[in-house]
């Protein structure tokens, strides 16, 4: 696919996106007088849909050519090719009318900070000590001073967390203007701190481009990440890019492709795999050399990626909120709220007051029932989180018990020799640290998949299925009140699934939790919600413990006992070294087990409580809307017939406008799902 065709597809998608945003914004304005408490949520959703982009994360290990590849995709040298493996922050490349860079700071600054940070950033942080640090605009041609942590002479500096959250790079390119955002992540093999930065971002992206090196294809650490962190967390939107294929002999290139395909197929059935030369693609585009770009192999990748984004991913990004808005528009505004108000306006004032007096005690009773169900859900969530905390502690204890066994089984590639030297001990400690990290990572990923996810699924179903049954009864009573107020049959509302109704009324979807609302809106609290939650918490749980096995720290703990001591036999020195490392590793894991287990349990409680709040808010808003509407109608009728007639005409105009918007929405939904 040439650049024009790619832009055409993206532009068509963008037009649908703008149409949906305009429809939602118009609905928000149209229902502003209907006492539906939806205008703010709809307006926020309109802006969210309008400004949403396709986020593409490019990741992989250091020196695989990520920066060159990103520049090739963009067609310009926007990112510097960093010379050191120490890119510490996320770079977001997005559209801007002018080229500029904005630095964002972490909500909580690390302590201690890395040394040799850019002076301007240090002054800015000092200016806002104890307060939230606002973003800082930085010179575009100086971004390397901020996103790269200097190595210096002390390797410990490399292990310190960056105070920066991300850098936004704005650039006036057509592909960016059409809604594509490129995310450049730190290299995965640099350090646990850098890896955490990448892992924390994965759930925010629409596609992952995983860059491999044709000269060292499918290395062990790469495959471990693909197995444990991508496939292990059920990330399906992954495209594998074998870069530098031009550096392999032409006759050997099919073998490289086939080998990568076989290795990846063990993890991802039928992997999306492309062999390219990012350098040739970039230089071809810079020189307007279409032939060189075509031979680089990047065009088939771009074609497939564009198809995936605009057709497959685009359906979920637009069709899901469009259908949810239609629920608010037709099922609520046109079929419930407007008919209810029209019926009450046509009823005598005394009769309306009598009906209101009749429903008031029931509204209060339903409010108390809602509060009781909320308390029951909160108690169940707390029990679930404490159970997860116990499970996490148990998992750490299993690892602690396994560490000595693992070390006894492991033989480092490097020999200590008869007289251990500092250099040899450092190398062996690094090898042992890497080995322990791989074993812990595998064990934790296995626990996350086989223990944590099933447990969360079971608890989620137990908590929220019970809530669905109880709160559905409250909804049925609300529908009965609607029936009595309007004197019409509202059985059509009962056909709306509980979660779809709850998400629409509460605004869970409308406030941005699209995945959350629709994992529930269609299939109850489904696997998508639990999978996402387990990844976010489990990944941090794993990386937190890997960071405790820093080879620099371990070396400092064993050096005095090992270096320069001639044990007569190398075996004794190695045994002593393993014992010291085992003691230190177990000590570090034990000291941090309580905190890490507490954090994962708190994360469960926070996210489950978010769903509970959505449920409770759904009831509160329906009850409030009924009360507000009837009070407003009584006030209108007390003013006299002219006010009632004026309100009836206003209601008719609103209904006509909403029917027109409903038609536009139906047309758009048909286009999206066609």
Q: What is the CATH number of the domain that holds 207?
A: 3.40.50.300
Q: What percent of the chain has pLDDT over 90?
A: 24
For the entire predicted model, the pTM comes to 0.76
Residue 645 has pLDDT above 80, yes or no: yes
Query: Do 374 and 262 lie in a common domain?
Result: no
570 vs 414: CA distance, rounded Å: 12
Query: Do 191 and 260 lie in a common domain?
Result: yes
Neighbours of 548 (CB within 10 A): 20
The β-bridge relationship of strands 164-171 and 100-105 is antiparallel
User: What mean pLDDT do residues 404-432 have?
Assistant: 82
Q: What value does the mean pLDDT of the chain take?
A: 81
Q: What is the torsional sign of CA 327, 330, 336, 341?
A: positive
Contact by Cβ (8 Å): 555, 429: yes
Q: What percent of the chain has pLDDT over 70?
A: 80
Nearest to 504 by CA among 626, 327, 331: 327
Query: Do 291 and 355 lie in a common domain?
Result: no
The most distant pair of C-alpha atoms in the chain lies apart, rounded to whole Å, by: 108
Position with higher pLDDT, 524 vs 27: 27
CA dist 65 → 182, 402, 495, 566 (Å): 15, 38, 54, 45
Contact by Cβ (8 Å): 27, 42: yes
Residue 499 has pLDDT above 80, yes or no: no
Split at pLDDT 50, 70, 90, the class of 173 is confident
pLDDT of residue 558: 67
420 vs 120: CA distance, rounded Å: 45
On whether residue 166 sits in a domain, the answer given is yes
On whether residue 305 sits in a domain, the answer given is no
pLDDT tens digit string along 537-577? 766 666 666 666 666 666 666 665 666 554 445 577 788 88
On whether residue 673 sits in a domain, the answer given is no
Query: Do 501 and 570 lie in a common domain?
Result: yes
On whether residue 480 sits in a domain, the answer given is yes
**Residues contacting residue 144 through CB under 8 Å, at least 6 positions apart:** 80, 82
Q: Is 255 helix (H, G, I), strand (E, B) or coil?
A: helix
Contact by Cβ (8 Å): 555, 425: yes
On whether residue 341 sits in a domain, the answer given is no
Query: Do 262 and 353 lie in a common domain?
Result: no
On whether residue 118 sits in a domain, the answer given is yes
On whether residue 46 sits in a domain, the answer given is no
On whether residue 34 sits in a domain, the answer given is no
Query: Do 461 and 372 lie in a common domain?
Result: yes
Query: Do 87 and 173 lie in a common domain?
Result: yes
Neighbours of 79 (CB within 10 A): 23
User: What mean pLDDT do residues 92-99 have?
Assistant: 90
Of 11-25, 121-135, 542-556, give the lowest mean pLDDT range: 542-556
pLDDT tens digit string along 276-334? 999 999 999 999 999 999 999 999 999 999 888 888 888 778 887 887 788 778 778 88
Domain boundary among 278, 296, 314: 296
What spatial distance separates the first Cα and last Cα of the chain, rounded to whole Å?
22
Say how many domains are in the chain. Answer: 2
Query: Do 291 and 360 lie in a common domain?
Result: no
Query: Do 286 and 353 lie in a common domain?
Result: no
pLDDT of residue 236: 83
Q: What is the DSSP letter of 328?
A: I
517 vs 503: CA distance, rounded Å: 6
Contact by Cβ (8 Å): 64, 186: no
Domain boundary among 257, 272, 296: 296
199 vs 230: CA distance, rounded Å: 10
Nearest to 518 by CA among 655, 364, 319: 319
Written as six digits, the tokens of 56 are: 């593409």
Position with higher pLDDT, 108 vs 388: 388
Query: Do 289 and 373 lie in a common domain?
Result: no
Q: Is 343 helix (H, G, I), strand (E, B) or coil?
A: helix
Most confident of 148-162, 219-233, 277-291, 463-477: 277-291
Domain span at 403: 347-639
Query: Do 252 and 391 lie in a common domain?
Result: no
pLDDT of residue 539: 61
| Rg of the chain on CA atoms, in Å | 30
Query: Do 257 and 111 lie in a common domain?
Result: yes
């Amino acid at each position: 696919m040439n650049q024009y065709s790619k832009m055409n597809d993206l532009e068509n998608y963008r037009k649908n996106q703008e149409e949906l945003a305009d429809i939602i914004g118009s609905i928000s304005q149209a229902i502003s007088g209907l006492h539906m408490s939806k205008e703010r949520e709809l307006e926020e959703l309109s802006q969210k849909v309008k400004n949403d982009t396709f986020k593409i994360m490019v990741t992989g290990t250091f020196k695989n050519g990520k920066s060159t590849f990103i520049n090739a995709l963009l067609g310009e040298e926007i990112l510097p090719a960093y010379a050191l493996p120490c890119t510490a922050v996320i770079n977001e490349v997005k559209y801007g009318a002018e080229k500029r860079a904005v630095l964002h700071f972490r909500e909580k600054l690390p302590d201690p900070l890395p040394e040799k940070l850019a002076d301007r950033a240090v002054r800015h942080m000092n200016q806002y000590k104890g307060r939230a640090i606002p973003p800082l605009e930085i010179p575009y041609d100086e971004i390397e001073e901020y996103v790269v942590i200097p190595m210096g002479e002390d390797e410990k500096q490399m292990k310190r967390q960056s105070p920066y959250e991300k850098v936004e790079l704005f650039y006036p390119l057509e592909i960016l203007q059409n809604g594509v955002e490129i995310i450049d992540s730190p290299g995965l093999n640099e350090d646990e701190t850098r890896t955490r930065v990448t892992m924390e971002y994965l759930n925010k992206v629409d596609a992952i481009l995983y860059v491999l090196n044709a000269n060292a294809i499918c290395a062990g650490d790469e495959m471990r990440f693909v197995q444990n962190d991508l496939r292990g967390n059920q990330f399906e939107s992954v495209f594998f890019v074998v870069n530098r294929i031009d550096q392999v002999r032409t006759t050997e290139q099919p073998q490289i492709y086939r080998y990568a395909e076989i290795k990846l197929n063990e993890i991802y059935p039928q992997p999306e795999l492309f062999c390219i030369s990012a350098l040739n693609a970039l230089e071809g585009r810079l020189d307007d050399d279409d032939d060189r770009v075509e031979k680089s192999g990047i065009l088939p990748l771009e074609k497939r990626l564009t198809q995936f984004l605009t057709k497959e991913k685009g359906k979920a990004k637009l069709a899901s909120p469009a259908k949810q808005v239609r629920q608010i528009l037709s099922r609520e505004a046109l079929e419930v709220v407007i008919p209810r108000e029209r019926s009450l306006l046509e009823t005598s004032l005394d009769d309306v007051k009598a009906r209101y007096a009749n429903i008031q005690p029931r509204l209060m009773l339903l409010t108390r029932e809602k509060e009781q169900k909320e308390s029951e859900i909160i108690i169940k969530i707390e029990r679930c989180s404490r159970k997860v905390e116990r499970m996490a502690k148990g998992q750490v204890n299993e690892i602690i018990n396994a560490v000595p066994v693992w070390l006894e089984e492991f033989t480092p590639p490097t020999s200590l020799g008869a007289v251990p030297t500092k250099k040899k001990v450092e190398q062996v400690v690094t090898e042992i640290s890497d080995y322990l990290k791989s074993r812990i990572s595998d064990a934790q990923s296995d626990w996350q998949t086989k223990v944590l996810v099933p447990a969360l699924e079971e608890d989620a179903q137990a908590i929220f299925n019970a809530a669905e049954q109880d709160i559905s009864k409250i909804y049925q009573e609300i529908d009965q009140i609607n029936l009595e107020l309007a004197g019409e049959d509202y059985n059509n509302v009962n056909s709306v699934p509980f979660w779809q109704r709850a998400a629409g009324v509460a605004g869970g979807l409308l406030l941005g939790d699209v995945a959350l609302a629709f994992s529930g809106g269609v299939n109850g609290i489904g696997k998508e919600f639990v999978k996402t939650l387990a990844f976010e918490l489990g990944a941090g749980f794993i990386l937190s413990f890997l960071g405790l096995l820093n080879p620099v720290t371990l070396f400092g703990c064993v050096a005095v006992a090992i270096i320069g001591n001639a044990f007569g036999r190398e075996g004794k020195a190695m045994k002593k070294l393993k014992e010291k490392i085992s003691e230190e590793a177990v000590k570090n894991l034990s000291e941090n087990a309580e905190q890490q287990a507490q954090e994962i349990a708190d994360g469960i409680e926070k996210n489950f409580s978010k769903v509970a709040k959505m449920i409770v808010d759904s009831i509160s808003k329906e009850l409030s809307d009924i009360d507000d509407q009837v009070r407003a109608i009584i006030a209108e009728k007390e003013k006299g017939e002219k006010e009632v007639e004026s309100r009836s005409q206003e209601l008719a105009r609103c209904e006509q406008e909403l029917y027109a918007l409903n038609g536009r929405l139906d047309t758009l939904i048909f286009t999206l799902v066609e």
